[in-house]
Copies of this chain bind each other. A is one copy, B any other.
Amino acid sequence: MTAPIRGVVPPLAIPHKDGKLDTVSLKRHINRMIDAGIHALFVLGSSGEVVFSTSQRRGEILEATQSIVEGRIRVIAGVIDTETDRVIEHIRQAESFGVDAVVATAPFYALQGEAEIYRHFRTLREATDLPLWAYDIPVCVHTKLSNRLLMDLGTQGVLSGVKDSSGDDVAFRWLARANEEAGHPLQLLTGHEVVVDGAYMSGADGAVPGLGNVDPHAYVRMWDAFQAGDWERVRQEQDRLADLMRIVQVSGVQGFGAGIGAFKTALKLLGVFDTNDMPTPVKPLEGENVAWVESVLRQTGMLD
C-alpha cells in the first residue's frame, strides 16, 4: 500500500518543435521541476493538451514523460474524453506506460444527469486497478461534481482523490469538512494556483498549479511553509505567485491560448522550452504579449 499523493503536483506543459513533441525541452522541464522538489507530476491534464492530442501523440507524451521521470516521483495521467468507453481506451494506454494513477472528468458534450456520472466513475473503477481521481472542472465539462457524489464515491472506494478546478471555494471548503468527518478517504488537490493558500486553509492536501510549470520552487516553498505552519510565509509566497500569474493577462487571446500560451512563453524566456508553439488551432503568443510575459517575469524576479 503506497502513501497517498499529496503536495505540489504540476500539470505538465508540453513543448513542441516543428509540429512534434520536443523531448529535449521536455527533459529539461521535468528535471527542473523534480529538482525543485515537486511531489508528483500530472501528465495529460487540461493544460497538458490531452484534448488536442491524438492517441498516438498521447502515447508519445506518456512514453517520454515516463522515460525522463524514471520513477523519481509518481505520475498521474489524465484520461479525459467525452464518454466512458473512450475514457477506458485512455486508461488502457496509461496503464501500458505504467502510470501511478488516472484522473477522469465527468462525461461531457452529451447532456446528462448525475446518475450517469455515478455510473461513469463506477464503470471506470471496475475497468482498472489504478487509483482513480475525479477532475472537477465545470468550466470545461459544464457540470459541477456535487460534494455528495464525491463523498459517496470516495467512501465507497471508487475515487481516491479529487483535482478541484471548480472555482467554487465555498463548495471546496464543505468538501474538505465532509472528507475529514468521513476519515479522509479522498485526497483533495486544488487547481487554482492563485489562491492555494486559501485552499490550504480549507484543508487541501496539495495543489496542481499550472503556474508550477513556470516557478515550481515557489510552490514547493509554499507547501513547506504550510507543512511547518508558517502561514505568513504561505501568504507571502502566494502573493508573489499571484503577481507572477499575471503573465496570463494578455491581449486579444482567451482561455487556453492565454493561459498555457503564457506558461510556454515564460518557459521559453526562461530557457527551458525552445519554442512557445501551441497545438492546432491555437497560435503562440506574439509581439507585445511576449513582452508582457517578460515584464512580469522581471517584476517577480524570475528574470534579471
Contact = CB atoms under 8 A, between A and B. Distances in A.
Interface in A163-177: 167-170, 173-174, 177
Contact of A85 (B54, B119, B253, B257): B54
A232 interface: yes
A84 B280 contact: yes
A120 to B, nearest CB: 4
Contact of A195 (B113, B140, B198, B231): B198
B256 A110 contact: yes
Contact of A140 (B80, B110, B201): B110
B120 A281 contact: yes
Contacts of A257: 112-113, 116
B239 A177 contact: yes
A269 B88 CA distance: 32
Interface residues of A, number: 69
B83 A173 contact: no
A242 interface: yes
A153 to B, nearest CB: 13
Interface stretch (A31-39, A45-53, A213-221): A45-53
A254 interface: yes
A46 B107 CA distance: 14
A236 to B, nearest CB: 10
Given A195-B202, A197-B198, A280 B51 contact: no
A85 B279 contact: yes
A47 B54 CA distance: 23
Interface of A: 46, 51-55, 57, 80-86, 89, 107-113, 115-117, 119-120, 123, 139-142, 167-170, 173-174, 177, 192, 194-195, 197-199, 201-203, 229, 231-232, 234-235, 238-239, 242-243, 245-246, 253-257, 279-283
A-B pairs with lowest CB-CB distance, top 7 = A198-B198, A111-B255, A231-B231, A119-B281, A51-B82, A120-B281, A113-B254
Given A52-B84, A173-B194, A195-B202, 17 more contacts: A80-B109, A81-B82, A83-B281, A84-B281, A110-B256, A111-B139, A111-B255, A112-B257, A112-B281, A116-B283, A167-B169, A169-B194, A169-B195, A170-B194, A173-B238, A198-B198, A198-B202
